[in-house]
Amino acid sequence: MSKIRPGELDDRRSNEDVVVLDIRPREDYQRDHIEGSHNAPVYGDLRQGNTGSLDDYLDQIPNDSKVVTVCKAGVVAQKATTHLEEQGYDATTLSGGYTGWRHYAENTLLYRVLSTLRRFLP
């Protein structure tokens, strides 16, 4: 299963047909989300191992699009990514989830430090 960093997602969104699927609860999504993303509030179900609830939202995703799944920190979104791949989608997970995206978008000191460290670590 692949992951994508926030900066890479930002670049791809401007150059490719990418669907961002935010699986966080509706309240979290309504509070703040990645612009243009779609909400499939199945976080709790996926966390409990019920991937079937995600199927109710597959009509929001064109079959030929690349899909990036998002949750709070990127852990539960991996389950969504795996399920989407099993359904034939080209899916990946946003590394760091929405929290990572927020740090990227706000260019926080934490994000800048971690980005610098990644350049030197394998």
pLDDT of 15 reads 76
- 122 found inside a domain: no
pLDDT of 21 reads 97
B/e letters for 32-59, b = 16+ CB within 10 Å, e = fewer, are: ebbeebbbbbbbebbeeeebebbeebee
CATH number for the domain including 72? 3.40.250.10
- 65 found inside a domain: yes
Please list the ranges in the chain whose pLDDT falls under 70. Answer: 1, 122
Contact criterion met (CB below 8 Å) for 11 and 28 = no
Q: Which domain holds residue 111?
A: 3-117
- 44 found inside a domain: yes
- 59 found inside a domain: yes
Q: Is the pTM of this model over 0.85?
A: yes
DSSP 56: G
- 10 found inside a domain: yes
Domains: count for the chain: 1
- 68 found inside a domain: yes
